[in-house]
Amino acid sequence: MKSSVSSTRRAAPGRPRAVGAMLLAGLVFASSGCAVAGSAGGDAGRADGRTLRVVLTQEPPTLEPCEASLTGTGVVVRSNITEPLVERDPASGELDPLLATGWKQTAPRTWTFDIRSGVTFHNGAPLTAEDAAFSIDRAVNSDLACNVEGYVFGNDDLEVEAVDDHRLTVTTEEPDPILPLRISFVEIVPRTTDTGAKVRVPVGTGPYAVGSWKAGAAISLDRYDGYWGEAPDFARARYVWRSDASVRAAMIDKGEAEIAVALDPMEAGKDTTAAYPNNETTALRLDGREAPLDDLRVRRAVDLAVDREGIVDALLGGLAEPAGQLVPPGVVGHSDEISPTRQNVTEARALVERAAADGVPTGRQITLVARNGMFSGVSETAEALQYQMQQIGLNVKVRMADTATHLQYQLRPLPEDVGPIALLIMHGNQAGDAGFTTSQYLLGDGPQSTFGTEALDRRITEAGALSGEKRQRAFAGLLAEQNEDVVQYAHIAHMSGLLGLSRSIRYEPNSATGDELRLSEVHPAKGAKD
């Protein structure tokens, strides 16, 4: 429109002023450009082959290591800036040594860890057992209310002691067979770290140290030259964030970033994407305390109503796997025997009719609560579930909530007087053990469970004390029991993440990628210059 102005004869009178205005605009433009650039840190982040540019969904609220179990924080911090003593191999579920070279159960309630020598923090201080003890103490026993504390360790405090520079003992109140796995969630920080408040920018032992954090714009990491392990290929890494998936995808297409997380499944066809199972499992949690969902037949009917293949193919880009249990393959306790329920509308309808005949108020409105942004296509999924539940004769309404509201529905104490709720949940299995899942989601009074049965509760408690093959069998058995006799959950799918990867790099995503994007595993593509 503006060109038509200046090219028309009648506009001629306006030109000098227009030019003035444009100049003025340009001036503001330029000055404000400087100001923003100034506040954002200057660096243009061009593709120079030495900087790895990663685009996330949101700015990490903090880089505090004890909050690393928050996805937004952990994806930057874990294994890049700070490291734990022990790490879990996402593929096999085995524990591998990292800052600890070995560990063993030295007493029924005590585990001993051998601390690696020759490791230094970014501030130059050497790593000792005392640092490790400090870190565990800070994350688990302090008043910081770290996220890792409640989720991984429950409420019990740990007794931590540095025996000498390279030996650490951890003592629990009850025998804990999976303590090393729990310890893998604690990122190790130097003993000089603040214990009174959370830190925003941590010091760690990882391959990268925080270079700069321009609030709102970008976080830069620099390669730490004193890193004890193999040096990563990229000298620098930059994180930026865009909340719109199509923009993240566009940045890969445009060459503005090498890695983009959480792309839309619709992009899956491109060769610049890589899908990976992300250890998240979606399910519909049926509130068994409220009619009509208090009737087992109705819950089973809901389970039968869900068209898992249809949802996975049409809405999730074919990337997910229909699920029959809350834990995906690779997690201790996953049962290979359980197969996802197949949709059977006739049978489901019959079940609902039978329940109705027995006086169950099947016409009562059920609220299907889902959270915006839970995963890509969540509102369509909710619509599909609603439609499928309606098809079998139930009355369902969808309510899309924000995170905080969704949490109110998810966590005990559960909201009162809201009628029967079918809550769409997405459970992360990063811990790699069904024990975490069952105590939260299946235990009758579990923090995220609406009801349970005594039998199931007993089996959960028993299984938690076991280890090895027995543990595996016990959990697999009780997961099957939930599907038979409890049906609090109508499982939907084991989800997949979709990563955008520029052609200039090589990276194999794994199930932990969503929580822990290891920059050291990213390499320049063959032929691309270093």
Which residues in 431-470 contact other proteins (CB under 8 A)?
A: 440, 447-448
22 or 505, CB closer to other proteins?
22
Nearer Cβ to other proteins, position 207 or 497?
A: 497
Coil, strand or helix at 197: coil
| Site residues (CB under 8 A) for other proteins, limited to 240-299 | 240-247, 250-251, 253-254, 256, 264, 266
What is the 8-class DSSP label of residue 230? P
* Contact range with other proteins by CB under 8 A, out of 93-101, 193-201, 458-466, 499-507: 193-201
Taking the C-alpha atoms of residue 346 and residue 248, their distance in angstroms, rounded to an integer, is: 43
Inter-residue contact 111 to 179 (CB < 8 Å): yes
Query: 43 to 62, contacts with other proteins by CB under 8 A?
Result: 43-45, 59, 61-62
**Complex with other proteins: residue 355 or 425, whichever CB lies closer:** 425
Give the number of C-alpha atoms closer than 13 A to the C-alpha of residue 152, restricted to the C-beta side.
29
Whether cis (ω within 30° of 0) applies to the bond prior to 90 is no
Decide if 234 contacts 519 (C-beta within 8 A).
yes
| Residue 415 is a binding residue for other proteins (CB under 8 A) | no
Whole-angstrom distance, CA of residue 396 vs CA of residue 382: 11
Total residues contacting other proteins (rule CB under 8 A)? 98
Q: How far is the CB of 215 from other proteins (least distance, A)?
A: 5
Nearer to other proteins, 365 or 387 (CB): 387
Q: Which of 47, 231, 411, 525 binds other proteins (CB under 8 A)?
A: 411
Stretch touching other proteins by CB under 8 A, among 80-88, 143-151, 325-333, 520-528: 143-151
Q: How far is the CB of 373 from other proteins (least distance, A)?
A: 7
Could you count the other beta carbons within 10 Å of the beta carbon of residue 362? 25
Would you count residue 4 as binding other proteins (CB under 8 A)?
A: yes
Q: Which of 147, 193, 279, 502 touches other proteins by CB under 8 A?
A: 147
Counting contacts by CB under 8 A, is residue 201 touching other proteins?
no
Half-sphere exposure of 332 toward its Cβ, with a 13 Å CA cutoff?
25
Cα dist. 384→208, 318, 387 in Å? 44, 15, 5
Nearest to 442 by CA among 406, 474, 470, 402: 474
> Which residues 489-528 are close enough to bind other proteins by CB under 8 A?
none
Q: Is 3 in the site for other proteins (CB under 8 A)?
A: no
Residues 6+ apart with CB under 8 A from 347: 301, 304
Provide the H-helix boundaries in 468-528.
Answer: 468-481
Residue with tokens 């890792």: 148
Nearest-approach distance from CB 18 to other proteins, in angstroms: 6
Site for other proteins in 92-131 (CB under 8 A): none
Q: Which member of 313, 347, 353, 481 binds other proteins (CB under 8 A)?
A: 313
Q: How far apart are CA 487 and CA 348, in angstroms?
A: 14
The distance of closest approach from Cβ of residue 515 to other proteins in the complex, given in angstroms and rounded to an integer, is 16
Q: Which residues ranging from 332 to 391 are in contact with other proteins (CB under 8 A)?
A: 372-373, 376-377, 379-380, 382-384, 386-387
**Residue placing its CB nearer to other proteins in the complex, 41 or 190:** 41
112 vs 386, which CB is nearer to other proteins?
A: 386
Does position 408 interact with other proteins (CB under 8 A)? The reply is yes
Q: Is 14 in the site for other proteins (CB under 8 A)?
A: yes
By CB under 8 A, residue 178 contacts other proteins: no
- Which residue lies nearer to other proteins by CB, 279 or 439? 439
State the minimum distance, in angstroms, from the CB of residue 115 to other proteins.
27
Determine whether 385 is exposed, middle or buried from the number of CB atoms within 10 Å of its CB (0-12, 13-18, 19+). buried
Q: What residues contact residue 352 under an 8 Å CB cut-off, 6+ apart? A: 297, 298, 301, 362, 392, 393, 394
Contact 262, 517 (CB under 8 A): no
| Distance, CA of 201 to CA of 214 (rounded, Å) | 12
Task: Tell me which of 111, 113, 151, 507 binds other proteins, using CB under 8 A.
Answer: 151
Nearer to other proteins, 61 or 102 (CB): 61
**Choices 116-124, 174-182, 284-292, 398-406 (CB under 8 A): range interacting with other proteins:** 398-406
Q: Which residues of 116-132 are buried (b: 16+ CB within 10 A; e: fewer)?
A: beebebbeeeebbbbbb
| 18 scored as a contact of other proteins (CB under 8 A) | yes
